[in-house]
């Protein structure tokens, strides 16, 4: 019996285990990058998938709780990619019905990497979640933790690209 292929995530802009470009660096807090979310593509969603979510999280941020850089929920099942900079403020590139959750910079958009100078290498986990529900009904101004909880509670399968970044 043939096994179904696993959910897979790929990108033209970032690579697993590799440094991100200045294009994915934040603008502010001393950072001067492009603040552009990376292009992402995926395939092989598991049976029962009804929508997707994408998260970008830095577990190395010196906060005690990491740093949410991006969360997008309610991505339609028919979607298989997001273009570079789809996570901009008031994005018109995101698929209809998708919703960006407020990141830890306080903006409903992608917020690029901006680790403290001299803090060393940080890991940025871009994760695609195949969800068992069509829509996550989150309150206005939902926290990253609440969105993360609801995403994880409804995830059938996920795939991650862990990119790297540091400032000296």
pLDDT at 5: 87
pLDDT at 1: 53
Domain formed by 8-165, architecture = Alpha-Beta Complex (3.90)
**Rounded CA separation 86/78 (Å):** 16
Going along the chain, which residue ranges are E strands?
A: 8-10, 27-28, 31-32, 40-43, 51-58, 67-76, 81-82, 99-100, 122-131, 155-165
pLDDT at 90: 80
pLDDT at 168: 77
Give residue-wise pLDDT tens across range 116-137: 999 999 999 999 999 999 999 9
pLDDT at 4 over 90: no
Residue 151 has φ and ψ, to the nearest 5°, of: -60, -55
Structure tokens at 100: 């960006």
Question: Taking the CA of residue 81 as centre, how many other CA atoms within 13 Å lie in the half-sphere pointing to its CB?
Answer: 10
Q: Give first-to-last CA distance, the chain, whole Å.
A: 52
pLDDT at 2 over 70: no
Give residue-wise pLDDT tens across range 50-76: 999 999 999 999 999 999 999 999 999
Average pLDDT, the chain: 95
Q: Domain spans of the chain?
A: 8-165
Give residue-wise pLDDT tens across range 5-25: 899 999 999 999 999 999 999
Please report which confidence band the pLDDT of residue 114 belongs to, taking 50, 70 and 90 as the band edges: very high
Give residue-wise pLDDT tens across range 25-54: 999 999 999 999 999 999 999 999 999 999
pLDDT at 133: 98
């Amino acid at each position: 019996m043939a096994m179904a292929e696993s959910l897979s995530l790929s990108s033209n802009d970032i690579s697993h285990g590799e440094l991100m470009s200045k294009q994915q660096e934040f603008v502010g807090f001393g950072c001067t990058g492009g603040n552009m979310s990376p292009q992402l593509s995926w395939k092989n969603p598991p049976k029962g998938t009804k929508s997707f979510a994408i998260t970008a999280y830095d577990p190395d941020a010196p906060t005690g709780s990491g740093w949410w850089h991006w969360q997008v929920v309610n991505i339609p099942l028919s979607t298989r990619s997001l273009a570079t900079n789809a996570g901009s403020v008031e994005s018109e590139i995101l698929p209809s019905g998708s919703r960006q959750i407020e990141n830890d910079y306080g903006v409903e958009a992608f917020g690029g990497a901006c680790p403290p100078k001299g803090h060393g290498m940080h890991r940025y986990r871009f994760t695609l979640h195949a969800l068992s529900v069509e829509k996550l009904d989150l309150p206005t101004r939902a926290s990253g933790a609440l969105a993360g909880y609801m995403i994880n509670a409804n995830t059938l399968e996920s795939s991650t690209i862990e990119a790297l970044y540091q400032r000296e």
